[in-house]
Amino acid sequence: MAGTLYHYVLSVQWQQGNGLRSITNSGHVDRAPGGDRFKVFQDLLQHVVRVNAIPTTPVVLFYSLEKED
């Protein structure tokens, strides 16, 4: 069964040293129909933290998950 393609934008900010750092990631995820949208968010947030070696829990500044047409 084919999945549904979603476009996401996730922007986070965290404390590092004496300043704040932020990063915005965007891309596409392929999820099965009826998939849990909150689980998609959790997976994306964990991925961004791991890939960018963010040392603390970041604050989410913006998140969007839209189904592609």
pLDDT digits (tens, 9 = 90+) for 2-34: 677 889 999 999 999 899 999 999 999 887 656
Q: Return d(Cα 14, Cα 23) in angstroms, integer.
A: 9
Q: Which domain holds residue 56?
A: 4-67
> Any idea what the CATH number is for the domain that residue 30 is in?
3.10.20
- Is pTM, for the whole model, over 0.95? no
- As given in the structure block, the two tokens for residue 20 are 């704040």
Q: Return d(Cα 30, Cα 67) in angstroms, integer.
A: 10
| pLDDT tens-place string over residues 33-56 | 566 788 888 999 999 999 999 998
Q: Which residues pair with 28 in a beta bridge?
A: 7
Q: Which residues pair with 63 in a beta bridge?
A: 10
Q: Return d(Cα 12, Cα 21) in angstroms, integer.
A: 8
Work out how many domains the chain is built from and give that number: 1
